[in-house]
Amino acid sequence: MYDSHISSRKDDHVRLAQQYYEQNALNPRTHAEIDAMQFIPNALPEVSRADVSRETSFAGLALERPYFINAMTGGTPRANEINRRLARVAQETHSPMALGSMSIAVKNPDTRAAYAQLASDFPDVRFLANLGAEHTLESARFVVDLVGAKALQIHLNAAQEIVMPEGEKDFRGWTEHIRTVTEGLGADGVPVIVKEVGFGMSAETVAQLVDAGVHTVDVAGRGGTNFVQIENARNAEQDFSYLEDWGLSTLRSLLEAMHVREEREELRAHEERAEGLGGTHLDIIASGGVRGPLDIVKYVALGADAVGLSAAFLQAVTASEDADEAVAGAVALVRAWDEHVTNLLTILGVRSLPQLRARAPYVLPESVHAYVRQRFA
């Protein structure tokens, strides 16, 4: 039997995420700064579209395009059907696919068969398992093995838990849990990605994670699925609407993480030994409110190694009751976005994503410059 309480919550999350999708995706205030970021046109690009590469990587995973299917749901009959549709899209497009929190599989043995079946039916999909920061190394290894995951996402969701009526209110020990899981799975050859759930990461948080041995972060900023908004809609006892604007935007979160990356790389450049500096390169994923190819290219230009999308894929695979029709539509969306990403790189005069990050000029709105001055000057 499914745990009816957890199942109801997970289905509520999907329902409310879809309900609020347009409100959040189309909110001009949420996206004002990324919209105001402007590429400087290149009237002499001197690039053939045929020579442009969209390839990138993060956490040791090679990607054909700079975006992937990020974490959404799982563990209930409805959520399992959504995951099967997403897996079909991932299989056809060779995209990694992150699963939503798998804590339900740790707690309830009756939910595990669906996860195992998903991995069995889609053996070529590179699944990313997912757990909260409170879980043990044993649980992490269990969910990785359950789906044959290529990496584990550890999600950070303190703001969501505070608002969630049945949520956790004690966040002690998270950093040490992350350190233990990262070291243990690292010994197994399984990378760990630490991600927010939509409220962004500060430079202080990213530095703390790097010091704990983490090499990949997903800053997951404000602008997409809003779990304070969702949990507040489920909370009949208290009103948390004042927190619905909580957190950092994806743009600002990315700049925070880039500050840590640049600071650590500069330190290593001046040190013969990198002891205590948290390893080598920091991979950064930008997610949260990503609406299309231009957003993707902007975030990569700002430093992201890849971009994660959840809501856009959720909308696509649930656009029709007919699974084949919905999956075909989602695949067509990926193909169209691939073409647009290539077009954008071409007219910017770059042949690759590293060239985009290194050479494509852009300007940011004064509000972003003011933010950076206050934070890092």
> Residues marked as binding?
9-10, 71-73, 101, 130, 160-161, 195, 225, 289-291, 310-311
CA angle 164, 145, 227 (to 5 degrees): 15
Please enumerate, by residue number, every residue annotated as part of a binding site for FMN: 71-73, 101, 130, 195, 225, 289-291, 310-311
Burial readout 77-105 (b: 16 or more C-beta within 10 A, e: otherwise): eebbebbbbbbbbbbbbebbbbbbbbbbb
Joined together, the tokens standing for residue 308 give: 């994660």
**Is the separation of the CB atoms in 98 and 71 below 8 Å?**
yes
DSSP 52-71: ----EEETTEEESSSEEE--
Where is the binding site for Mg(2+), in residues? 161
C-alpha to C-alpha distances, 375 to 10, 34, 57, 203, 343, nearest whole angstrom: 37, 18, 29, 9, 35
What's 249's DSSP letter? B
Helix extents (H) in 212-322: 227-234, 250-269, 293-301, 311-317
Please state the length of the chain.
377
